[in-house]
Amino acid sequence: MTTLLINQEEVRSLLTMDECIEAVRSALTELAGGEAIQPLRPVVWLPEGALGMMPGYLPSIDTIGIKTITVFPGNAGTPYDSHQGTVMLFDGEFGRLTAVIDATEITAIRTAAASAVATDALARPDASVLAILGSGVQAGTHLDAMAAVRPVTEVRIWSRSPANAVRLAASTARDGVEVRAVSTVAEAVGGADLVCTTTASHEPVLPGFLLEAGMHINAVGASIPTARELDGEALARSRLFVDRRESALNEAGDFLLARQEGHVSDADIVAEVGEVLTGSAPGRQTDEEITLFKSLGLAVEDIAAGDLVYRKALAANVGVSLELGGARHA
């Protein structure tokens, strides 16, 4: 049995943001239709981080997959990303391991692509001013993702490390877009149409009193029950959309802590984004309402992105082929 090994640089060269957005859009639509298999992810908690295992199945491409990924927030300032691991793909006919793909780059791109899908479904069509809270990998990919689905003309970047915000602003400069670092969250968010929270904070960085009518927010930084980037007031003032209800009710600290404080209830989850895509649930209903997408990241997104990378790698003769076995014993 031949398995294709695809490294980080190869993923980066093969997986474009536009293509990944469409792959994730398809996966979320399929999930909302009840066809995909998407269990909750088990997590092994470690002294300095965690090991997450994210299995799933997409019948449209007849592919089983699992992402195994370590999350080590303390990697900031080291040569290593905070998220490292692999996406493994298996065919649905024989269960053959077809590909082992670097997960660092897939996670970086597909997370922002999911936010782009939500933004395209929920944000005002004329949204053009973007605030990014955070200055890490997801901050950069979210700038690319937002620009892919909305006419972004101005970007304000805030970070707890001002030097990192300045560095990101300089590295993401582009024609026709004003990109600048700002010193406060209020300066970043005031007058913004789109807000992406991409921090590693365990405490709120975006308070509800800063939200303005017509905003759309993508909250992606917190993915465990005890961490949050938004306070309870922010949840209470927004119409809340999620990638997966079950995941939000078990893993989303932004929602769970606000619920614990009495700001929201389970009924305040309006819909999964996929349900908006299929037309089974309404999205934005007025230009004035505040919409919020709480992203946790799903295995079906990794499988869809991984399958796209795998097929492009085969076509371009990229990657290393390994003979790992799997044949029946005589």
> Taking residues 126-139, what's their average pLDDT?
97
pLDDT digits (tens, 9 = 90+) for 42-88: 999 999 889 999 999 999 999 999 999 998 988 878 899 888 999 99
CB 107 within 8 A of CB 165: no
| Rounded-to-integer distance, Cα 144 and Cα 27, Å | 20
What is Dmax (Cα atoms) for the chain? 69
**The token pair that represents 119 in the structure block:** 């933004």
The tokens for 112 are 């922002």
325 pLDDT more than 90: no
Q: Does the domain spanning 124-294 belong to CATH 3.40.50.720?
A: yes
Q: What is the pLDDT of residue 261?
A: 98
Q: Would you say the CATH fold of 124-294 matches that of 2-107+299-323?
A: no
**DSSP code of residue 101:** E
- Give pTM, 2 decimals: 0.96
What is d(CA 319, CA 228) in angstroms, rounded to the nearest whole number? 38
Backbone angles phi, psi at 22, to 5 degrees: -70, -35
Q: Which two tokens stand for residue 68?
A: 């195994």
Distance CA 157, CA 129 (A): 11
What share of the chain in percent tops pLDDT 70? 100
CA distances from 115 to 75, 77, 142 (A): 24, 26, 8
Cβ atoms 235, 264 nearer than 8 A: yes
Residues facing residue 302 across a β-bridge: none
Angle, vertex CA 117, rays to CA 127 and CA 180, nearest 5 = 45
Return the domain boundaries, the chain: 2-107+299-323, 124-294
Residues 272-316: tens digit of each pLDDT: 999 999 999 999 999 999 999 999 999 999 999 999 999 999 999
β-bridge partners, 37: 57
**Which residues have a Cβ under 8 Å from the Cβ of 91 and sit 6 or more positions away?**
62, 63, 64, 98
Q: What mean pLDDT is predicted for residues 25-40?
A: 96
Q: What is the pLDDT of residues 243-259, one digit of tens each?
A: 999 999 999 999 999 99
Instruction: Return mean pLDDT, the chain.
Output: 96
What topology is assigned to 2-107+299-323 in CATH?
Answer: ornithine cyclodeaminase, domain 1 (3.30.1780)
- Amino acid letter at 251? E
pLDDT digits (tens, 9 = 90+) for 160-215: 999 999 999 999 988 899 999 999 999 999 999 999 999 999 999 999 999 999 99
Q: What is the DSSP code (8-state) at residue 231?
A: -
Q: For a pLDDT cut of 90, what percent of the chain falls above it?
A: 92
**What are 75-124's pLDDT values in tens digits?**
878 899 888 999 999 999 999 999 999 999 999 999 999 999 999 999 99
- Residue 327's pLDDT is 78
User: Which amino acid, 169?
Assistant: A
Q: How far apart are CA 143 and CA 108, in angstroms?
A: 12
At 330 the pLDDT is 66
| Distances from the Cα of 144 to the Cα of 167, 200, 248, 320, angstroms | 16, 20, 25, 29
